[in-house]
Chain A
Amino acid sequence: MKIDVKHITMIYPSGKKALQDVSVSAESPSFIGILGPNGARKTTLMKLLIAGLLPTRGEILLNDKPLLTQEICLKSQLGYLPQSFGLYEELTVWQFLDYMAALKNIKDARAAIHEVLERTNMTAHRKARIRSLSGGQRQRVGIAQALLGSPRLIILDEPTVGLDPEERVKFRNIFSEMAQDKIILLSTHIVEDVQAVCSRVLVIHDGRVLFDGTPASLIAQADHHVGTYLAKLGDAAPDGCQIVSKVHAADGIRCRIVAKQLPDFVRPTDPTLEDAYLYCIHHSPARKESEAL
C-alpha cells in the first residue's frame, strides 16, 4: 500500500485555515508517529487521509490513484481509531465487534473478533455490555475495532489515552508487531511512545509539517541545542530558551533547556526525542520559514 499526500491545503468553509501545503508519502511497511501540539491539525490530516474531509487544494493518492476514486478500496483496508468516539451501549463487546466486522465486510468475522479480543485482552469481557465497561476497557474496545480484520492502513489518534502504563507499553508493542506489513499512523502527545516504536516521525505545527524523518534525524537536529544548568529558586528562564524539565536538588534547581543558541553558563547535553520535538516546534528552520510566509 502506498499513500501520497501532495501539497494539501485545507481551509474550512468558515474560512479557517487548517493545513497549508502539506506533502507526505508513506509506503508499507511504515510506522509513522505524528507529533504536534494541540490545535496543530493532526486530526484534520487524519480525516483527510480517511476521506472524511475534502482538501481545498492538492490531492491525496492511494496506490497512485486519487483517493476519492478509491474510497471503497480505502475503507475496506482501513482501521481507524479517532480521538473521541462512541459505542452502542446496549450491545455486548462481542456484538459491537461483530457489528464493526460487518461494516468492514470481514468474511470470517468470528475468527477476526477472537483475534482482536485476545490481542486487546478483552476476551474475558466479550459478553459484557458496553455500558458496564470502564474507560480503559472502552478504549481497548476502540483499539480492537481498529485492528479488526488486520487492515493494511491503521490510523490511530491518541490510542493509549486512558490506559495504564503497563497496557500502554503492551499496546505499543502490539502496534509495532502489526506494522510489519502495514502503514500505521500514530498521532500522540506521548513522545515516548513514538520513540519506542516509530520508524518515522512527522512534526506538525499550525497546519504545517515542520519535520518528516526518522527519530534519530530529529534528535540530530537538536544536537548542541540542549543543555542543563543549576538555577536558584525564583530565577527566570534565559531569553530564547524553553525549559524541558526542572528537578529540585540539594544544590539548587537542575534545569534542562532547549535553545537555538545555548547560553555560556549552560552545559550541553545529548538531546532526547522530547528535547528534539520541542526544539523543532520552537526553533526549527521550517518553522521560521512558515512564520516568514
Chain B
Amino acid sequence: MNLFSLFRVELRRLLQSRTVLGAALLSILSLPLGNLLMIFYGSQVMSSRYILTPVLSGTTVGAVLWAAAALMEADRLQRSGVHVLADAISVPGALCAARTLALMTVSMLVVLLTALVYAPYTAEKMSYLFRPGFYSANFAVFMLPTWWISILFADAFYQLTRRVELSVVLYVLLAGVSVSGIVARDYFLRWLNPYVITYSDGFLSVWPLRIGLYTRIIWLCIALGAWTTSFLFMRRYQRGLVFSFLKSGKKLRKLLPAAVLAASGVWLWHAQPFIDHGPDSYDYADSFMMDADHTVNARCHLKVNPVTGTVSVKAEYDILVPYDGETVFYLNPGYRITKMTYGGETVSFRTIDSDLNGQRPTRFSLPSKTPGKTLLIEYSGFPAQAKYAAGSLVDDMVDRDYISLDTTSLFPRFEGYFVQTAVTDFTIPDSLTPFCNYVQMTDSVDNGDGTRTWTQNTENYIGDFTAGYYRTNTFSINDLTVDFAYGAAYQKIVVENDIEQVIIDILTYCSEHYGELWSAEDNHLLLRQESSMFMGGYAVHGVSTWFETVLAPDTLSDPDKGASATEVFIHEMIHQWWGGLGLNCADEELWSAEGLTVYSTYRLVKEKYGALYAQQYYVDMWKDAVENQNRSFYNRHPEYLELLPSVYQTSLELSNRSVNQYQRMPLMILKAEALVGGEAQMDEILRKIYADRDAFHDNKFRFSDFLNYCGLTEEDLRLE
C-alpha cells in the first residue's frame, strides 16, 4: 500500500470537501473573535492585542472546527458507502492514516493562508513594532500544533467508538479539562487554549513561545499516542471493538510506538524546565534570613545564552573559615550542578527534590577543613519559574531581548556563609544593556564574538540582574543627571513625542510643585522601562522603573489620560508621584491615584500650552463626561439596571468607574482648588501630602485624608 498515493488522493478529495472548506473558512474568520469578545491578553501591548489575542482565538475555535471536520470526514466514508469499496481493496488503517495526514496538511495550508490574510492588517496596526518572524512564529507555535492535536484526538475517538456522537462526547470531556477554570493558569493542561500571560513590544517575547512550543510537543506526543493506539481497535470483519482488538495483527508493532509516544509526552511533562515542582502557594515560613557566620569572597562568571534561554555559571568562593559539618545552598531548580570541588578535591553533594519558593536545596560537606581554599561550583540550565507565581507573572527569564535573573537564579544562596566581597562577570550579547542591583553597569570588555562581558564589584550578594535591548539617553535637569533607558523598539515613539523634553518638563514641574521625586538619589536618577512580561514597575533609591505600556501606542492614544500621546506620557510619569511608588492611594469608588494624576497633568498642560487649551481638552471634557454620566437613564434609575443582562451591567459599571476616576475626581479636585483659595494653595496642600507619603505606605491615602488636608467635607466637593 503506497501511503503517499493515498495521501495525495485524500488531500485532493479533502480540498473539495464542503466540510473541510467550511472548517477552513470559519477558522480563518475566528481570529477577530478574541478582540470582539474582549478576551484580551495584555491588551495595551500591541503584539498581545494584534497577534496573541487573534492567534489564540483562532487556535481554540479552529481546533474545535478541525476536530469536527475530522469526525465528519472519518464518518463520511461510512455515510457515503464508499467504505464497502475501500475496505475490500485497502489495508485497514492505511486509508485512515492517509486521511488524517491529509487533513493535517490541509489545516497547515489554512494556517499559512490565515497568517497571510491577516498579515497586512496586523502590520498596518502595529506599524514599526510589527516583526514578521515573531508574527509567523505565533501561528506555527500555537495554531498549527493545536489544530493537529485536536484532529488526532477526534480521529482517535472516532476509531475507538465508530460513532460521531460518542466521539463528540469524549472530545468535549477532554476539551472541558482544558477550558475549565481549575486549570486557568496552568501552562501544561491547557492543550486546547494555550496559556500566555502577555507579550512585550519592546523586548521580543520568546519565552512564551518556548513554553508554548514545549506544551504543544507534549500534547502532540500524547495525541499521537492515542491516535496510534486507536488503530488497534480499528473494526475488522464487521465485528466490535474487543473482537477487532484481539484480531488486530502486529499489535506489538502498533502498540510500541503508541506507548513510546504517550510515555514521551508524560516524560516531557515531568521533565519540563520552565516551572519548578514546588507548592502552588508561597511558603512564608521559609525565611530568607539564614544563619551566616562564616565569610567568603566570591568570584562568579555568569554566561547567558539567549538563543537557548540558558544560563551557565562558574562560581568560586574563597572560604576564609570552613563550615564544620554539612551545610546547604539553594539554587534555581532549573539548574544542574555539573562540578563541585574544594581546593581541587571533589565535593560530594546531593540535590534534594524539594522545591520551595523557586529554590532547590543542595546539601554538601567540605572534604577538608583547611581554610583559604576555593570552593568551585559549576552549574547550568534553564532558569525555572517558581510554581506559586508562574501562572500569574513572569519571574526569572532569559529571553532574546530581555534577561531578568535574581537571587538564586543568579548564584547559590548559602546557609552558614555570607559573601563579604564579590567580583562578578556577566557575559551577554553585546546588543543588551545590563543593570546590576538596579544600576546600569559600566565596565565591560568586548569579546569579539557578539558578546560582551560586564564586571561588577559588590560587597554582598548580587540580588538582581536585568539586561535588555535598551537605548539610553542621558540628560541633566539642574544638578540632577537622568539616565532614561527605554526599549530600542520604542525609539520612534520617544523621538516623535520628544519624550526626553517631556521628562525634563515633568521632573521640573513636579519637583517644583510637589517635591523631588523620592527615588532620585545623589543627583542621579535612572528611569528604566520594564518589559511588560513582568508585573508592574518599582522604585528604589536612584532608580525608577515604569510599565512598558506607558509608551505603548494604545496607551498613548487613550483620550481619558490626555489629549495627545505626549500628555498621556505626562500622565503616566506623574504616577511616579501619585501612585504605588510615590503616594500610595486607595482604590475606592470615588477615589484613586488617577484623580490626582489627571489633575496634575491638567495643571502641567495648562502651564505648558495655556489655560484655553487646558480648559478645552481637560475641564470641558471632564464636565461633558460627568454630565453624560448623570444623564444616563440607568444611573438615574438603578433599579432597572438589575433587569439588564450581566454583560451590560458590567459594561455600565466599568464605564462609571472610568468616569469617576478620570473625570469626576479631577473635577472635584478642581472644585477643592477653588475652595482652598486657588492653584497655589492646592499646590501647597499637594506638596504636603507628598511629603507625608510615608505615613500612607501601609494605610493607603483615602478620599477622607484628602478632604482632611484640604479642610473640606465631602459635601463641599459634591458636583451638581
Contact = CB atoms under 8 A, between A and B. Distances in A.
Interface string B1-13: 1100110111011
Contacts of A75: 88-91
A60 interface: no
Nearest to A151: B89
Given A88-B13, A98-B9, A100-B89, A53 B238 contact: yes
Nearest to A90: B16
B17 interface: yes
A158 B90 CA distance: 22
A99 B237 contact: no
Nearest to A77: B89
Given A54-B247, A102-B2, A105-B2, A145 B239 contact: no
A80 B85 contact: yes
A154 B11 CA distance: 28
Given A52-B238, A99-B13, A102-B8, A72 B82 contact: no
Interface in A88-126: 88-91, 95, 98-105, 109
Contacts, number: 87
A13 B9 contact: no
A3 interface: no
A19 interface: no
A78 B88 CA distance: 8
B88 A91 contact: no
A18 B671 CA distance: 98
A103 B1 CA distance: 7
A78 B80 CA distance: 21
Contacts of B90: 75, 103-104
B97 interface: no
Interface string A60-102: 0000000000011001001110101111111100010011111
Contacts of B238: 47, 52-53
Contact of B80 (A47, A50, A87): A87
A104 B85 CA distance: 11
A88 B88 contact: no
B81 A85 contact: yes
B82 A85 contact: yes
A84 B86 contact: no
B694 interface: no
B684 interface: no
B647 interface: no
B88 A145 contact: no
A139 B8 CA distance: 25
A201 B88 CA distance: 24
Interface in A188-221: none
Nearest to B5: A102
A98 B90 CA distance: 14
B89 A103 contact: yes
B89 A80 contact: yes
A12 B6 CA distance: 33
Contacts of B79: 86
Given A52-B87, A102-B8, A86 B1 contact: no
A53 to B, nearest CB: 5
Contacts of A142: 85
Interface in B82-122: 82-91, 95
Interface residues of A, number: 34
Contact of B89 (A54, A90, A104, A109): A104
A77 to B, nearest CB: 9
A78 B84 CA distance: 13
B207 to A, nearest CB: 45
Given A53-B238, A90-B16, A90-B17, A102 B84 contact: no
B637 interface: no
B253 interface: no
Contacts of B86: 103
A85 B81 CA distance: 5
Residue of B10, B13, B79, B89 most packed against chain A (CB within 10 A): B89
A82 B85 CA distance: 7
B18 interface: yes
B7 to A, nearest CB: 9
Nearest to B76: A88
A84 B84 contact: yes
Nearest to B78: A86
Nearest to B237: A54
A91 B12 CA distance: 9
A272 B378 CA distance: 99
Contact of A82 (B5, B6, B8, B84): B84
B5 A52 contact: no
Contacts of B239: 13, 54
A85 to B, nearest CB: 5
Interface in A166-195: none
A161 to B, nearest CB: 15
Contacts of B83: 86
A145 B8 contact: no
B82 A87 contact: yes
B12 A95 contact: yes
Contact of B95 (A47, A101, A103): A103
Contacts of A87: 80-82
B85 A145 contact: yes
A103 B237 contact: no
Contacts of A86: 79-85
Nearest to A104: B89
A187 B133 CA distance: 63
Contact of A88 (B5, B80, B237): B80
A92 B52 CA distance: 41
A111 to B, nearest CB: 15
Contacts of A80: 85, 88-89
B302 to A, nearest CB: 58
Nearest to B18: A90
B620 to A, nearest CB: 64
Interface string A133-162: 000000000100100000000000000000
A13 B90 CA distance: 25
Contacts of A91: 13, 16
B91 A71 contact: yes
Nearest to B8: A102
A104 B1 CA distance: 7
A148 to B, nearest CB: 9
A253 B708 CA distance: 125
B398 to A, nearest CB: 49
Nearest to B6: A102
Interface in B45-86: 79-86
A99 B17 CA distance: 14
Contacts of A90: 13, 16-18
Contact of A105 (B1, B16, B84): B1
B66 to A, nearest CB: 19
Contacts of B88: 50, 52, 75, 78, 80, 82
B13 A72 contact: no
A50 B17 CA distance: 29
Contacts of B95: 103
A156 B12 CA distance: 28
Interface string B214-240: 000000000000000000000001110
A100 B12 CA distance: 13
A193 B6 CA distance: 36
A88 to B, nearest CB: 6
Given A82-B85, A95-B13, A103-B86, A72 B80 contact: no
Interface of A: 13, 47, 50-54, 71-72, 75, 78-80, 82, 84-91, 95, 98-105, 109, 142, 145
16 contacts: A13-B239, A47-B238, A52-B237, A53-B237, A53-B238, A54-B247, A85-B85, A86-B80, A88-B13, A91-B13, A95-B13, A99-B13, A100-B89, A102-B8, A103-B6, A105-B2
Nearest 3 CB-CB pairs, A to B? A86-B81, A102-B5, A80-B88
Given A54-B247, A100-B89, A103-B95, 7 more contacts: A72-B1, A75-B89, A86-B80, A90-B13, A95-B13, A102-B6, A105-B2
Interface of B: 1-2, 5-6, 8-10, 12-13, 16-18, 79-91, 95, 237-239, 247
